[in-house]
Amino acid sequence: DTGVSQDPRHKITKRGQNVTFRCDPISEHNRLYWYRQTLGQGPEFLTYFQNEAQLEKSRLLSDRFSAERPKGSFSTLEIQRTEQGDSAMYLCASSTARSTGRETQYFGPGTRLLVL
Partner 1 sequence: AQKVTQAQTEISVVEKEDVTLDCVYETRDTTYYLFWYKQPPSGELVFLIRRNSFDEQNEISGRYSWNFQKSTSSFNFTITASQVVDSAVYFCALSEANTGNQFYFGTGTSLTVIP
- Nearest-angstrom CA–CA distance, 79 and 8: 14
Instruction: From 16-24, 67-75, 76-84, 85-93, give the range in contact with partner 1 by CB under 8 A.
Output: 85-93
Cβ atoms 6, 110 nearer than 8 A: yes
**Shortest approach of partner 1 to residue 106 CB, angstroms?**
6
Class of residue 104 by CB neighbours under 10 A (exposed 0-12, middle 13-18, buried 19+): exposed
Judged by beta carbon, residue 45 or residue 74, the one nearer partner 1 is 45
Footprint (CB under 8 A) of partner 1, residues 17-76: 31, 33, 35, 40-45, 48, 55-56, 58
Identify the three-state secondary structure at position 33: strand
Which residues of the chain form contacts with partner 1 (CB under 8 A)?
31, 33, 35, 40-45, 48, 55-56, 58, 89, 91, 93, 101-102, 104-110, 112
